[in-house]
Amino acid sequence: MIVERLVVGPLQTNCYIAACEKTLDAAVIDPGFDGQGIVAQAHKMGVRIVAILDTHAHGDHVMDNDLVRDETGAKVMVHEDDAPALAGAGEHLSALLERAVALKPADRLLKDGSIVDVGELRLETLHTPGHSPGSCCFLCEDVLFSGDTLFAGSAGRTDFPGGSRASLIASIAQKLMPLADDTRVLPGHGPETAIGVERASNPFTRGRLV
């Protein structure tokens, strides 16, 4: 798998291009801003964007869904519990950012365990509510795209509408901590980390804050 990170938008959101080395088909994960730049980077890499995966439907992660879809024909996918939030700027919080937009519906609604095939890559959807009702992580090989569920040394905030601290802690404990120590964690903000590192030191992985 080829992975490229782009840091986009006023909240420094990590957007990832994940591509199959054999077919050069690619997924864009969380195109929050700079859709033109994302498409240009895919062209530079020589890959074809065929899927747009939203880890959750907050504006800094989904703002340029439609732009990237219009430019590439890729299908937008989001967990079914966050799908309604795409329609309203207030719901996906884009009104708090540089511009308020209403986005088109997703092309595919995901559930826990849904598989997204991108070339020969298989991305498994892990439903990890807490930051939002439909927050997800995507697991592919030994890489976890963790969105705003798990960060290096921290985890997503839970004070937005639909957030739940208890659900977030449970999601991390039940869905992420069983993964192998050497699983790379590519979060929605901040630096890369690994499951083993977070298991040993992140207060959220122990089910409480310290």
Which stretches of 49-136 are DSSP H helices?
59-62, 65-72
Q: pLDDT above 90 covers what percent of the chain?
A: 82
Q: How far apart are CA 6 and CA 39, in angstroms?
A: 11
Indicate the length of the chain as a whole number. 210
Mean pLDDT of the chain: 92
Bridge partners (DSSP) listed for residue 150: 155
Q: Is 109 exposed, middle or buried (0-12, 13-18, 19+ CB in 10 A)?
A: middle
Which residue type occupies 172?
I
Range of the domain at 135: 2-206
* Overall domain count for the chain: 1
Q: How far apart are CA 133 and CA 99, in angstroms?
A: 23
Which residue type occupies 164?
S
Pairing type for strands 150-151 and 154-155 reads antiparallel
Q: Any idea what the CATH number is for the domain that residue 90 is in?
A: 3.60.15.10
Task: State pLDDT tens for residues 1-27.
Answer: 999 999 999 899 999 999 999 999 999
What is the pTM assigned to this prediction? 0.92
In this structure, are residues 115 and 123 in contact, taking their beta carbons and an 8 Å threshold?
A: yes
First to last CA, the chain: 36
Which residue type occupies 18?
A
| Token reading at 142 | 């030994």
pLDDT at 209: 38
pLDDT at 57 over 50: yes
Residue 105, number of CB atoms within 10 A of its CB: 11
| Token reading at 9 | 């938008």
Bridge partners (DSSP) listed for residue 96: none
In this structure, are residues 104 and 93 in contact, taking their beta carbons and an 8 Å threshold?
A: no
Using pLDDT thresholds of 50, 70 and 90, give the confidence band for residue 86.
Answer: confident
